[in-house]
Amino acid sequence: MKSGTGRRGPRTARALSRTARHLCVVGAAFGTVLGAGVGFAPAAAADDVHSRQWYLDDMRAEQMWKVSTGKDVKVAVIDTGVNANTSSLKGQVLADEVTGDVAYHATRDYKGHGTTIAEMIAGTGSGGGIQGIAPGAKILPYRILLDSLKDKAERAHTPADYKAVRAAADSDAKIINMSFGSEYSDPELRAAIKYASSKGKLLFAAVGNEAKKNNPVEYPAAYPGVVGVASLGESGEVGEFSQHGDYIDLSAPGLDLPYWCDEGFKSYCTSGAGTSFSSAYASASAALIWSAHPDWTANQVLRVLIETAARDWPKNKPSNYLGYGVVRASQNLLDGKGTPGAANVDPITNEQTSEASSGSDTPPSASASGSSQPSQKASDVPAEAAGSEAKSSDDSNTLWIALGAVAAVIVIGGGGFAVMRARRGQ
């Protein structure tokens, strides 16, 4: 996917220990409490779980599933493991396809985090579980070493993140979801990301939840070849925690959502929030589009996600907070919008990649041509941003974005607003 020339380099030459990478979710069970954190058993509260997935109506999920469910697309979930026995994931996890050292306890989730992400991507919703956005997709589970794994014996055997990325790159997964991060660059993980990109994988990562602290650049989201995804809520507010900067590519729902409370899988908690959820949303949306267009490459799927994202600002001047806009797969699947363009041209850097064309002869769209370069002079918060209004709406829901003192509009189906920023200097 993206080449190194279009992405900022490592923040520091010092690599943080791989055991100190953190999960990009905050909530009652994962750190800062953003809501009541009330737990409820899934089987007894199906309506509660599904009703809290407010984005399903916003994205016109029921209508989209008549066109695509993500069938025949595999998504690698690199996380704390994936419990394949939850009611929502039975039959959805292909653990047998994960072999070798990276297969160690792949289906033994030590936090509940990886299972939540997997359910959000491909859960069936059965038994009151989380309803996945792409219920026809399948999950390849990769359990990696993160700072939330406390057991010393388990830590000794659990593989590092870069090994899982390389294994996923060699698998049949088309999409790799990474809802974890660190503010320090790791050369081995960076190399693994580059390898996965060269294999034609589409990689998504959470951009991090430390905006209210020091708002560091987050890896792997900031690596070349990775799509960094930020968070916003039902009313449209950008998550206060959602990190911002020139590595934000897309944005997606990530506030006030149900999640597994702990590794015991006894109940879901409410009011979970974090860019982990947003990354899962983007991964699942990509699966829906890729399933409907199986001959497309990762470049083409990403280009359509970018072209159809909700925004009311120039596409070549992405926002520090929302990137190219809010993910809305329905614009392609239901309304036929989005031009796939060149199979082997990165839609962000406009540079040629080594990716095979997958048989598509579709020429690049004008908006994705090499002449459309990011602005290097855009200010963070332009004065003219205040009072911006949506110009059109193809979907039914309007999201109000609050960025500090600036209130503005994002419409999932139409226009919107963003804070401009200088983007990935050459």
Give the C-alpha separation, 407 to 65, whole Å: 33
Beta partners for residue 124, in sequence order:
131
Judged on CB neighbours under 10 Å (0-12, 13-18, 19+), 148 is middle
Tens digits of per-residue pLDDT, 50-79? Answer: 889 999 999 999 999 999 999 999 999 999
Per-residue pLDDT, 5? 30
Q: Terminus-to-terminus CA distance in the chain, angstroms?
A: 16
Domains of the chain (ranges plus CATH)?
Answer: 4-333 (3.40.50.200)
Pairing status of strand 74-79 against strand 175-178: parallel
Q: Provide the percentage of residues in the chain whose pLDDT is more than 70.
A: 73
Residues 253-260, mean pLDDT to the nearest whole number: 95
Residues 364-389, mean pLDDT to the nearest whole number: 27
Beta partners for residue 182, in sequence order:
219
Give the C-alpha separation, 325 to 375, whole Å: 16
Q: Is 235 helix (H, G, I), strand (E, B) or coil?
A: coil
For residue 311, give the nearest of 232, 239, 404, 413 by alpha carbon.
Answer: 413
pLDDT of residue 298 exceeding 50, the answer is yes
| Residue 132 DSSP one-character state | P
For residue 246, give the nearest of 225, 276, 217 by alpha carbon.
Answer: 217
Indicate the range of 143-147, 257-261, 336-340, 374-378 predicted with least confidence. Answer: 374-378
- Residue that the structure tokens 């206060």 belong to: 240
Which residues are tagged catalytic?
A: 79, 113, 276
E strands, 298-350, in order: none
Name the band, by pLDDT with cuts 50, 70 and 90, for residue 24.
Answer: confident
Indicate the range of 20-34, 132-146, 193-207, 349-363 predicted with least confidence. Answer: 20-34
Is-contact 241 26, C-beta < 8 A?
A: yes
Tens digits of per-residue pLDDT, 114-134? Answer: 999 999 999 999 999 999 999
Give the C-alpha separation, 134 to 230, whole Å: 20
Tokens coding 163: 């090994």
Tokens coding 69: 């469910």
